[in-house]
Amino acid sequence: MDSTTLLGLVGIGGTLFGAVVGAAGALGSARITSKAQVRTEEQKARRQAYSACATALLARRDAMTALLDVFKSDEFDEAAVQSRLREVDEQRDAVARAVGAVAVEGPYQVVHAAEWAAKAVEQLSCRLRDWNTDVAGGRDRNGLLQSQLRYALQDLLDVERMVDGFTEGCRRVLRPSEQDRPTRWGLVRRR
Protein backbone atom coordinates (compact mmCIF):
# COMPACT_ATOMS: atom_id res chain seq x y z
CA MET A 1 0.00 0.00 0.00
CA ASP A 2 1.52 3.24 -1.01
CA SER A 3 1.41 6.45 1.03
CA THR A 4 -1.20 8.10 -1.14
CA THR A 5 -3.67 5.26 -0.60
CA LEU A 6 -2.89 5.20 3.11
CA LEU A 7 -3.38 8.94 3.32
CA GLY A 8 -6.70 8.60 1.46
CA LEU A 9 -7.90 5.88 3.85
CA VAL A 10 -6.90 7.95 6.88
CA GLY A 11 -8.77 10.90 5.40
CA ILE A 12 -11.89 8.80 4.85
CA GLY A 13 -11.60 7.37 8.36
CA GLY A 14 -11.22 10.86 9.79
CA THR A 15 -14.22 12.05 7.86
CA LEU A 16 -16.32 9.11 9.11
CA PHE A 17 -15.13 9.66 12.68
CA GLY A 18 -15.97 13.35 12.43
CA ALA A 19 -19.41 12.52 11.07
CA VAL A 20 -20.07 10.05 13.91
CA VAL A 21 -18.92 12.54 16.55
CA GLY A 22 -21.01 15.29 14.93
CA ALA A 23 -24.08 13.04 14.81
CA ALA A 24 -23.59 12.00 18.44
CA GLY A 25 -23.25 15.65 19.43
CA ALA A 26 -26.38 16.57 17.52
CA LEU A 27 -28.33 13.72 19.16
CA GLY A 28 -27.05 14.72 22.61
CA SER A 29 -27.98 18.31 21.97
CA ALA A 30 -31.42 17.28 20.74
CA ARG A 31 -31.94 15.19 23.88
CA ILE A 32 -30.96 18.07 26.14
CA THR A 33 -33.21 20.45 24.21
CA SER A 34 -36.07 17.96 24.36
CA LYS A 35 -35.73 17.56 28.13
CA ALA A 36 -35.61 21.33 28.57
CA GLN A 37 -38.77 21.70 26.46
CA VAL A 38 -40.55 19.04 28.51
CA ARG A 39 -39.57 20.82 31.75
CA THR A 40 -40.72 24.15 30.31
CA GLU A 41 -44.08 22.67 29.27
CA GLU A 42 -44.53 21.07 32.72
CA GLN A 43 -43.74 24.40 34.39
CA LYS A 44 -46.21 26.15 32.10
CA ALA A 45 -48.97 23.62 32.88
CA ARG A 46 -48.29 23.92 36.62
CA ARG A 47 -48.26 27.70 36.45
CA GLN A 48 -51.63 27.71 34.66
CA ALA A 49 -53.18 25.22 37.10
CA TYR A 50 -51.84 27.05 40.15
CA SER A 51 -52.93 30.41 38.80
CA ALA A 52 -56.45 29.19 38.02
CA CYS A 53 -56.77 27.67 41.49
CA ALA A 54 -55.53 30.79 43.27
CA THR A 55 -57.86 32.94 41.19
CA ALA A 56 -60.87 30.72 41.97
CA LEU A 57 -60.06 30.63 45.69
CA LEU A 58 -59.55 34.38 45.88
CA ALA A 59 -62.73 35.11 43.92
CA ARG A 60 -64.78 32.91 46.24
CA ARG A 61 -63.12 34.44 49.30
CA ASP A 62 -63.92 37.94 48.03
CA ALA A 63 -67.53 36.96 47.33
CA MET A 64 -67.87 35.66 50.90
CA THR A 65 -66.25 38.78 52.31
CA ALA A 66 -68.85 40.82 50.42
CA LEU A 67 -71.59 38.54 51.78
CA LEU A 68 -70.29 38.97 55.33
CA ASP A 69 -70.30 42.75 54.78
CA VAL A 70 -73.99 42.55 53.78
CA PHE A 71 -74.74 40.69 57.03
CA LYS A 72 -72.85 43.32 59.05
CA SER A 73 -74.43 46.25 57.22
CA ASP A 74 -76.86 48.48 59.09
CA GLU A 75 -79.14 48.30 56.06
CA PHE A 76 -79.52 44.52 55.84
CA ASP A 77 -81.05 43.44 52.53
CA GLU A 78 -82.30 39.87 52.19
CA ALA A 79 -82.31 40.10 48.37
CA ALA A 80 -78.64 41.14 48.39
CA VAL A 81 -77.83 38.19 50.66
CA GLN A 82 -79.59 35.78 48.28
CA SER A 83 -77.75 37.24 45.31
CA ARG A 84 -74.37 36.96 47.07
CA LEU A 85 -75.14 33.40 48.18
CA ARG A 86 -75.89 32.39 44.58
CA GLU A 87 -72.59 33.93 43.51
CA VAL A 88 -70.70 32.02 46.23
CA ASP A 89 -72.46 28.77 45.30
CA GLU A 90 -71.71 29.22 41.59
CA GLN A 91 -68.03 29.57 42.39
CA ARG A 92 -67.90 26.23 44.24
CA ASP A 93 -67.57 24.27 40.97
CA ALA A 94 -64.80 26.54 39.71
CA VAL A 95 -62.84 25.97 42.92
CA ALA A 96 -63.37 22.20 42.72
CA ARG A 97 -62.18 22.07 39.10
CA ALA A 98 -59.17 24.23 39.90
CA VAL A 99 -58.18 22.12 42.92
CA GLY A 100 -58.59 19.02 40.75
CA ALA A 101 -56.17 20.45 38.19
CA VAL A 102 -53.67 21.18 40.95
CA ALA A 103 -54.10 17.60 42.20
CA VAL A 104 -53.02 16.35 38.78
CA GLU A 105 -50.02 18.68 38.55
CA GLY A 106 -48.76 18.15 42.12
CA PRO A 107 -46.57 17.97 44.09
CA TYR A 108 -48.29 16.69 47.20
CA GLN A 109 -47.51 19.73 49.40
CA VAL A 110 -49.18 22.09 46.94
CA VAL A 111 -52.14 19.73 46.46
CA HIS A 112 -52.58 19.48 50.22
CA ALA A 113 -52.46 23.27 50.59
CA ALA A 114 -55.03 23.73 47.79
CA GLU A 115 -57.38 21.20 49.37
CA TRP A 116 -57.12 22.83 52.80
CA ALA A 117 -57.70 26.27 51.33
CA ALA A 118 -60.80 24.99 49.51
CA LYS A 119 -62.07 23.39 52.74
CA ALA A 120 -61.54 26.61 54.70
CA VAL A 121 -63.40 28.57 52.03
CA GLU A 122 -66.24 26.03 52.10
CA GLN A 123 -66.43 26.16 55.91
CA LEU A 124 -66.94 29.93 55.82
CA SER A 125 -69.47 29.49 53.03
CA CYS A 126 -71.45 27.00 55.12
CA ARG A 127 -71.40 29.29 58.14
CA LEU A 128 -72.78 32.21 56.12
CA ARG A 129 -75.39 29.99 54.47
CA ASP A 130 -76.49 28.82 57.94
CA TRP A 131 -76.74 32.43 59.07
CA ASN A 132 -78.98 33.21 56.14
CA THR A 133 -81.20 30.24 56.99
CA ASP A 134 -81.40 31.38 60.63
CA VAL A 135 -82.27 34.97 59.69
CA ALA A 136 -84.83 33.79 57.13
CA GLY A 137 -86.30 31.58 59.85
CA GLY A 138 -86.87 34.59 62.09
CA ARG A 139 -83.70 34.73 64.19
CA ASP A 140 -82.58 38.22 65.13
CA ARG A 141 -79.69 39.21 62.85
CA ASN A 142 -78.10 41.52 65.43
CA GLY A 143 -78.14 38.79 68.06
CA LEU A 144 -76.68 36.37 65.55
CA LEU A 145 -73.88 38.81 64.72
CA GLN A 146 -73.13 39.41 68.41
CA SER A 147 -72.86 35.70 69.16
CA GLN A 148 -71.34 34.42 65.90
CA LEU A 149 -69.38 37.21 64.21
CA ARG A 150 -66.09 36.34 65.89
CA TYR A 151 -66.33 32.81 64.49
CA ALA A 152 -66.92 34.06 60.97
CA LEU A 153 -64.01 36.48 61.28
CA GLN A 154 -61.81 33.62 62.51
CA ASP A 155 -62.97 31.53 59.53
CA LEU A 156 -62.07 34.44 57.25
CA LEU A 157 -58.58 34.63 58.80
CA ASP A 158 -58.23 30.87 58.31
CA VAL A 159 -59.18 31.29 54.66
CA GLU A 160 -56.56 34.02 54.27
CA ARG A 161 -53.90 31.88 55.94
CA MET A 162 -54.74 28.79 53.88
CA VAL A 163 -54.84 30.65 50.57
CA ASP A 164 -51.54 32.34 51.43
CA GLY A 165 -50.08 28.92 52.28
CA PHE A 166 -51.22 27.59 48.94
CA THR A 167 -49.76 30.49 46.96
CA GLU A 168 -46.52 30.27 48.92
CA GLY A 169 -46.26 26.55 48.09
CA CYS A 170 -46.89 27.34 44.43
CA ARG A 171 -44.10 29.89 44.42
CA ARG A 172 -41.73 27.38 46.05
CA VAL A 173 -42.39 24.90 43.27
CA LEU A 174 -42.30 27.39 40.42
CA ARG A 175 -39.43 29.52 41.72
CA PRO A 176 -37.29 27.48 44.11
CA SER A 177 -34.63 30.19 44.23
CA GLU A 178 -37.02 32.56 46.05
CA GLN A 179 -37.13 30.52 49.28
CA ASP A 180 -36.31 33.42 51.59
CA ARG A 181 -38.85 35.87 50.21
CA PRO A 182 -41.34 36.95 52.93
CA THR A 183 -45.00 36.09 52.54
CA ARG A 184 -47.76 38.66 52.72
CA TRP A 185 -48.56 37.53 56.28
CA GLY A 186 -44.91 37.91 57.21
CA LEU A 187 -45.03 41.48 56.00
CA VAL A 188 -48.28 42.18 57.85
CA ARG A 189 -46.91 40.88 61.17
CA ARG A 190 -43.83 43.09 61.00
CA ARG A 191 -45.81 46.32 61.00
Burial class of residue 70 in the structure, from the number of CB atoms within 10 Å of its CB (0-12 exposed, 13-18 middle, 19+ buried): buried
39 pLDDT above the threshold of 90: no
Burial 76-96 (b: 16+ CB within 10 A, else e): eeeebbeebbebbeebeebbe
190 pLDDT above the threshold of 60: no
Give the closest residue to 129 by CA, choosing from 101, 155, 108.
155
Q: pLDDT, tens digit, for every residue of 45-103? A: 889 999 999 999 999 999 989 999 988 888 888 888 888 899 988 999 999 999 999 99
Q: Any idea what DSSP says for residue 183?
A: P
Residue 169 near residue 113 (C-beta atoms within 8 A): yes
167 pLDDT above the threshold of 50: yes
